[in-house]
């Protein structure tokens, strides 16, 4: 007989180690003929979004072999896959041309105004507005939608041939940290808050009063300091944002906004928001002249990634719960920030919600730490894979170096830590 908890933790550790080896597999795949079975297999292993879903599949197969399929199937059927499916839908809706064009228009207009006040080139001001306003907008349209829109706009601004590695990793590190923090002004936008808001009876007012000011300060400071330090490189290597040449009728854009709002408003009810999403697909089909291709591949990869985390999540309870219940608020806050780097922050707060003895102040400390550490790795925050999947072609071998990301996100994370510690409520 095999202890399934240990098997789940062991394969979770293997998956975690795998995320640090994706660059190695990408380089190794180039030694084989393109299209050959070995090249295709190694290329699959180099896709960071595939890692946790792949090892979750291995885990369920091994469980079925050792214990029989009944328990594994029962467990799989008991899982709540609402969040992966929600992010699948919201990513595809948010990445459509009408919503990207609207976001571009908003940022472009604000940048034109800011140019009169700030003594920087156009592209530098646009970058500052994009990396400040976009993450905070995530509190309204949800973090997955915000990171999708930001990544698509950054994709058009970044010249993969010009940009140097340190700036590229700096941008994605800043993006991940600000997205994780910026969605914490409301109780429905950030996965680590959304997943426990109902269990802990948190309202919009509770979340904003306890986390909102700290989040705004962290995002503004991170974006401002980064832009100031890299202003010369940004001016040289990034392409200024331009407006959409083809006019998109207002009624189409308004319908896209309504679909987005409807999916966000029903985010806890999978049958409802998925039905709305299917209607949305039909709408884009009849208005295809104003659409780009829907990003099903990117949406699927991110949902697969998150689904893998959901499968593994409960099997980390045996070692996470004793840690959470034994720490005071400050230590819990710092520990949560560190643990988020190796455990999805929504999974971390969910496990915290299972600890009956946790105090109110410890709840805020846990969530604050989970938010602050959400940019340290690609698995730290659920929307991160969505952002990287869009920007992946800008990176060498289309793969992300986990150590470089960790280093790039370190300083923005420290600023977020200080902001939540000094301005938060725990």
Strands (E), 108-147: none
Number of H helices, E strands in the chain: 23, 0
What would the DSSP string read from start to end of 207-248? HIIIIIHHHHHHHHHHHHHHHHHTHHHHHHHBPPP---SS--
Report residue 161 as tokens: 């041939």
- pLDDT per residue, tens digit, the chain (426 aa), is 568 989 999 998 998 888 878 878 888 988 888 889 999 999 889 887 788 899 999 999 999 999 999 999 999 999 989 888 988 898 889 888 898 888 888 888 888 888 888 889 999 999 999 999 999 988 888 888 889 889 989 999 998 788 999 999 999 999 999 999 999 998 878 888 988 887 898 988 999 999 999 999 999 999 999 999 999 999 999 999 887 677 899 999 999 999 989 998 898 899 999 999 999 999 999 999 999 889 898 888 878 988 888 898 888 878 877 887 788 999 999 999 998 988 788 878 888 887 777 889 999 999 999 999 999 998 899 889 889 989 999 988 778 888 999 999 999 999 999 999 999 887
What would the DSSP string read from start to end of 10-58? HHHHHHHHHHTTHHHHHHHHTTS-TTSHHHHHHHHHT-GGGHHHHHHHH
What would the DSSP string read from start to end of 285-315? HHTGGG-PPP-HHHHHHHHHHHHHHHHHHGG
Report residue 404 as tokens: 């470089």
Q: What is the DSSP letter of 198?
A: T
First-residue to last-residue Cα distance in the chain: 44
3-state SS assignment for residue 317: helix
3-state SS assignment for residue 250: helix
Q: How far apart are CA 153 and CA 150, in angstroms?
A: 5
């Amino acid at each position: 007989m095999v202890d399934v908890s240990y098997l789940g933790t062991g394969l979770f550790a293997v998956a975690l180690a795998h995320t640090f080896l994706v660059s190695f597999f990408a380089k190794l795949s180039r030694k084989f003929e393109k299209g050959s079975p070995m090249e295709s297999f190694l290329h699959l292993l180099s896709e960071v979004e595939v890692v946790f879903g792949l090892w979750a599949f291995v885990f369920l197969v091994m469980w079925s072999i050792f214990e029989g399929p009944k328990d594994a199937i029962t467990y799989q059927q008991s899982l709540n896959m609402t969040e992966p499916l929600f992010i699948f839908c919201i990513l595809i809706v948010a990445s459509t041309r009408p919503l990207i064009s609207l976001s571009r228009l908003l940022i472009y207009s604000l940048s034109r105004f800011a140019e009169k006040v700030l003594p920087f080139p156009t592209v530098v001001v646009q970058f500052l507005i994009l990396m400040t306003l976009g993450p905070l907008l995530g509190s309204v349209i949800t973090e997955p939608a915000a990171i999708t829109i930001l990544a698509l706009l950054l994709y058009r601004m970044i010249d993969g041939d010009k940009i140097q590695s340190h700036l590229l990793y700096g941008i994605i590190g800043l993006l991940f940290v600000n997205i994780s923090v910026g969605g914490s002004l409301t109780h429905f936008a950030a996965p680590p808050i959304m997943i426990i808001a109902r269990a802990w009876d948190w309202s919009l007012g509770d979340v904003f009063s306890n986390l909102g000011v700290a989040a705004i300060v962290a995002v503004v400071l991170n974006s401002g300091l980064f832009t100031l330090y890299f202003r010369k490189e940004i001016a040289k290597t990034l392409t200024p944002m331009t407006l959409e040449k083809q006019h998109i009728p207002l009624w189409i854009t308004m319908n896209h906004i309504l679909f987005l709002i409807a999916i966000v408003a029903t985010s806890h009810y999978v049958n409802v928001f998925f039905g709305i999403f299917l209607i949305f697909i039909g709408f884009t089909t009849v208005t295809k002249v104003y659409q780009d291709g829907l990003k099903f591949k990117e949406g699927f990869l991110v949902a697969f990634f998150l689904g893998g985390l959901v499968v593994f999540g409960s099997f980390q309870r045996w070692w996470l719960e004793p840690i959470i219940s034994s720490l005071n608020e400050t230590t819990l806050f710092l520990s949560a920030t560190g643990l988020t780097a190796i455990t999805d922050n929504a999974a971390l707060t969910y496990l915290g919600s299972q600890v009956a003895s946790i105090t109110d102040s410890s709840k805020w400390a846990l969530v604050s730490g989970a938010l602050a550490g959400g940019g340290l790795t690609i698995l730290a925050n659920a929307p991160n894979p969505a952002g990287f999947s869009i920007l992946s072609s800008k990176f060498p071998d289309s793969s992300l170096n986990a150590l470089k990301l960790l280093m790039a996100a370190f300083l923005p994370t420290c600023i977020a830590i200080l902001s939540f510690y000094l301005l938060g409520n725990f």
